[in-house]
Structure 1
Amino acid sequence: MMTFLEFEKPIAELEGKIRELRSFSGSGGDVDISLEVGQLETKLGKLLKETYEGLSPWQKMQVARHPERPHFPDIINHLFQDFTPLAGDRAFGEDSAISGGLARFRGDACVVIGHEKGSDTQSRIKHNFGMARPEGYRKAIRLMEMADRFGLPVITFVDTPGAYPGVGAEERGQAEAIARSTDTCLSIQVPMVTCIVGEGGSGGAVAIAAANRVLMMEHSLYSVISPEGCASILWRTNDKAEDAANALKITAQDLLNLGVIDGIVDEPLGGAHRDPERALNALGDAVQSNLREMAGIDGNRLRELRRDKFLAIGNIGLA
């Protein structure tokens, strides 16, 4: 059964009524309730549309963190073929919060990298809730440099609350690893497309997101800090997290207006978790379209365009 968010209670109640009526109809009763079911389904569609068209940033954050939202393995299984995962940073070890390797995307060879949060308690612990350690970013560096060497486009999928802030990670050079990974993104001479599919938190996201084209799914988030982290710094309490979310300009719509991202991938009504296949098809189409637009552009020019893109951020609207 689908997990419903706090603001979806009226939707959950309506869907419950529809299930009850269908169950009654399927139990062999002689009463025809198809008309009632149809009316409730029409009402449900209208309620879903009204709810999701008016989501606040705080509510969008809840959708972006929905446990049934498509994760990196779902993206790989649906959009890529012949995926060959490559492990380790050749310096310390393997990090399960970032996965990546060689694959084919709609027939063309590429390197694909992404965060993985996990889908249940055991897998979330294994993947450290998508919070990478230095070895994860150094693995990403190794994969991007390999893509550059062999002329393969890089496609990354971001879904992380941020880099892991533990003592061990800091001792192994977390900040340096993030900085070098970001620098590698900006230095490679092959097309690079990034998709924010859930949370894009802080340097942990930017480290694999300094791409030629940065796309966001409609109900994803991209921010320098989580709303909870911002509230704890500014107000010394998590009770103000909703206020922080509303002030941070973290939604796809805000960031497109600010020139931070290049496009928004529409999600099915009710979020990607309601129709993952349709959501992933739209995501794949957006990635393919952006890669095609960069086909044939010289490597040096790709790097210049990427550099200019990020230098221009913050200059929107300035004379």
Structure 2
Amino acid sequence: MSTVLDFEKSIVELESKIAELKKFAGVEDYGLTKEISAMEDKAHKLMIKAYGSLTAWQRVQIARHEKRPQFLDYVSRLVEDFTPLAGDRQFGEDQAIVGGLGRFEGRSVVIMGHQKGTDLESRIRHNFGCARPEGYRKAARLMEMAHQFGLPVITLVNTPGAYPGVDAEERGQAEAIAKSIETCLKINVPMVSTIIGEGGSGGAIAIAVADTVMMLENSVYSVISPEGCASILWKDADKKEEAAAAQKLTAQDLLEFKIIDQIIPEKVGGAHRHAEETILTVGRYINSALKVYDGVEQHTFIAKRQQKFLQMGRL
């Protein structure tokens, strides 16, 4: 059973009643058609009201929803002939970041992103989307390959953050993240990044220093989780809602601060309710972003990308 968000409980309860009534109506109408229609209308209005006034913390909850489409969902729907490439050529393979070659809208691309997993087994295998150093070194390797063969890079970000374990630190986690960021800034090909869920700390920015950075409407992007922020500033993780508001981590906030370039709209109810439509919408936005760079001289990408990020935070 999927997670029910706090602010969606009344809607989910109503939808459950509608589903039960439809079962009876499917056997014999019993005069339920009109009642079902009225309840569906009420549920839709409740959904519009709830999603029309979301708090920052509620958007965090939506961004983390287990039914939200993940990297491999996007790849299976949008990318033809996807060939995953594994390993960092130094230590091993990290499946928190999945990447490889494929064809997107007729063009050859390098595409990579975080995969959290969909059940206990796959979540353990993908380490809940928290990459170790070999994941970031693999990302850098794939970006260097894209640079060598003149292929655009597409990244889909969805991670709570880089894995903080002792083994990761022993193998140079900070250096691997820094190297991945450096590689983003050194490749002479178009790079488009989309935050599709959580964009947590250096674990996210390591593959998101792109020419175009987009966010789904209900995704979040921050230097630390609200719980972590609350624990540090207030010594109380329960102040996570206050922290989320203070962090300005929503797509709306970040567009205003010019940290991102574009917001991709989600249908009312969020991506976890409209996975297929969300995936196709993201595909259209990525395709439009890549088309902007068609015909752009290759040698100009590095300087423009570096200047873009150097300007952030300057008055």
TM-score strictly above 0.5:
yes
| Aligned residues of 2:197 and 2:220 also touching (Cα < 8 A) | yes
Match of 1:13 in 2: 13
How far apart in 2 are the matches of 1:4 and 1:268? 18
How far apart in 2 are the matches of 1:284 and 1:67? 21
Match of 2:191 in 1: 192
5+ unaligned residues in a row in structure 1: which ranges?
Answer: none
Code of the aligned partner of 2:20: E
Code of the aligned partner of 1:221: V
How far apart in 1 are the matches of 2:180 and 2:199? 16
User: Post-superposition shift, 1:133?
Assistant: 0.5
Q: How does 1:266-285 map to 2 (within 5 A)?
A: 266-285=265-284
User: Post-superposition shift, 1:195?
Assistant: 0.4
How far apart in 2 are the matches of 1:143 and 1:20? 50
Figure out how many residues of one structure are paired with residues of the other and give that number.
Answer: 315
SS at match of 2:195: strand
TM-score by length of 2: 0.98
User: Post-superposition shift, 1:44?
Assistant: 1.3
SS at match of 1:36: helix
Match of 1:244 in 2: 243
User: Post-superposition shift, 1:2?
Assistant: 5.0
Q: How does 1:61-210 map to 2 (within 5 A)?
A: 61-210=60-209
Larger mean Cα displacement after TM superposition, 212-221 or 18-27: 18-27
List per-residue Cα deviations over 1:146-171 (Å, max 9, x = no partner). Answer: 00000000000000000011111111
How far apart in 1 are the matches of 2:114 and 2:20? 39
SS at match of 1:274: coil
| Aligned residues of 2:2 and 2:66 also touching (Cα < 8 A) | no
User: Post-superposition shift, 1:12?
Assistant: 0.9
List per-residue Cα deviations over 1:113-135 (Å, max 9, x = no partner). Answer: 10011111111111111110000
How far apart in 1 are the matches of 2:272 and 2:178? 33
User: Post-superposition shift, 1:232?
Assistant: 1.1
| Aligned residues of 2:80 and 2:104 also touching (Cα < 8 A) | yes
Match of 1:235 in 2: 234
SS at match of 2:276: helix
Match of 1:57 in 2: 56
How far apart in 2 are the matches of 1:313 and 1:160? 23
Match of 1:38 in 2: 37
User: Post-superposition shift, 1:45?
Assistant: 1.2
Code of the aligned partner of 1:9: K
Code of the aligned partner of 1:297: V
List per-residue Cα deviations over 1:65-110 (Å, max 9, x = no partner). Answer: 0000001110110110100000000000000100100000011100
RMSD: 1.0
List per-residue Cα deviations over 1:39-60 (Å, max 9, x = no partner). Answer: 1111111111110111101000
Code of the aligned partner of 2:299: N
SS at match of 1:267: coil
Code of the aligned partner of 1:72: F
Match of 2:218 in 1: 219
Code of the aligned partner of 2:15: E
Code of the aligned partner of 2:24: F
SS at match of 2:272: helix
How far apart in 2 are the matches of 1:153 and 1:232? 40
User: Post-superposition shift, 1:312?
Assistant: 1.4
Match of 1:308 in 2: 307
User: Post-superposition shift, 1:20?
Assistant: 2.1
Q: Percent identity?
A: 58
TM-score by length of 1: 0.97
Match of 1:260 in 2: 259
User: Post-superposition shift, 1:7?
Assistant: 1.1
How far apart in 1 are the matches of 2:7 and 2:173? 37
How far apart in 2 are the matches of 1:174 and 1:36? 58
List per-residue Cα deviations over 1:172-206 (Å, max 9, x = no partner). Answer: 11111000100100110000000000000000000
